[in-house]
Structure 1
């Protein structure tokens, strides 16, 4: 019977306790679930992990066969020198659907010009020049074609948008023009009337969207960032917004979270801040992913969504 340590914040345990028990039972696994302090570290077989939880030193967990993260992003743990166990990131249907709905909703809001009409409720009938193009006439670029980026690119393509996707390594998605490499990035940005960033947090992606690359966007482009806060040079984006190079931005992630009250994004008329809510881990679907990976480990099968430590994701 494997011992599983729930190493998230204690206040989240009531949300996860029943789903984890149900998912383990459904997977045919008889296991013991414990909280920190209820079991000796050297007796733990699997760690259900959150960066906000109490476990940051993995050295005492000499028996642990895997660290199973509840988060999609692993930048807060991947460089931890005490972590020698296999690390798996969270990829689950609920998280993907939440991200797709956030991206599609905000893309359609900008595409249809909803904010313009909301801001001009003044009795003037403005039809000429304010009828939106069809989706097939609008270029949307998605930077990052992992599980979440690929799902968003496919959803936007299914609505008829002219979708370009970019990733470090070449990908292939039906209905999406997939590019890679530095030349591919320039071409992808040039197509981005709406730009969606879903890149991992790595040294290569830090400030990827700097002044030089923002200048490659079509004038009046819109930026949606539900990926990682490190990918945008904040000063460069603010300057692009002030100049009109970028028409608007909806940002869900930031270099510092919570976003400080004095940050210019809060007061900027062309920025909408959402508080890191685009893709929240949902206990029911996440528990099934955790249970499946434990089942796989117990059966000697490869783990799902294992992190490549060299790549950082």
Structure 2
């Protein structure tokens, strides 16, 4: 029996990915005005970015405990081996909630084989890990083997990204006021990365061309064997920037594949329009399925 894969909308994978019979989607929640929406299921990212460009505040919250519980119970009744790869616990409370619900469900179904991983990843860095897990499931790996492999994969995932305005990250409590102030000086574009699941400012670069060149340099410093690997780019409704950066990456590295998708509402509400992020495995990770 293949292991069932669960992931939430912090993975920034399209809903079409979850049409696979061996996957389940758990939406985070987005609030516009006084109305709550389930990310991707009830609201599209484009709507959120439009709302933000008008200067309006978008709020987010973790996945509904009821949604998580119902999905766990459905799988428990089938006694189906399941692996939930969760959005970084440093950015959402969904992982902690899922762990509590797991204990509740196991009290009723003590033999239910369910593992939960804190990916410590975000956006398509997390999404690539979910895609990797599905490959492992299709190869027939056991739940324990998959859990170990996916944890290692996540530990080696690099996130390099830039935002158009640090104010959005500040508003959502993702960075400090000092970091936002420094980043906003002289129209300097910040580069950030993810360290142990947290967003960390890396350096500041002036000018878009220099910014893209620096991203390429960081990829060279941190990764290798790109011809054998799938990379990913996610964006806050800026396809023109994606195409420019994607071409530079393809010309420089000739990667196996560059997977592109828009940043979903739950993350985009904090990073804002114009965000651009690159994800790749660092040089210390090697696996025959890549």
| Higher relative helix content | 2
- TM-score normalised by L of structure 2: 0.33
Higher relative contact order (CA 8 A, sep 6+): 2
- TM-score normalised by L of structure 1: 0.31
Bigger radius of gyration:
1
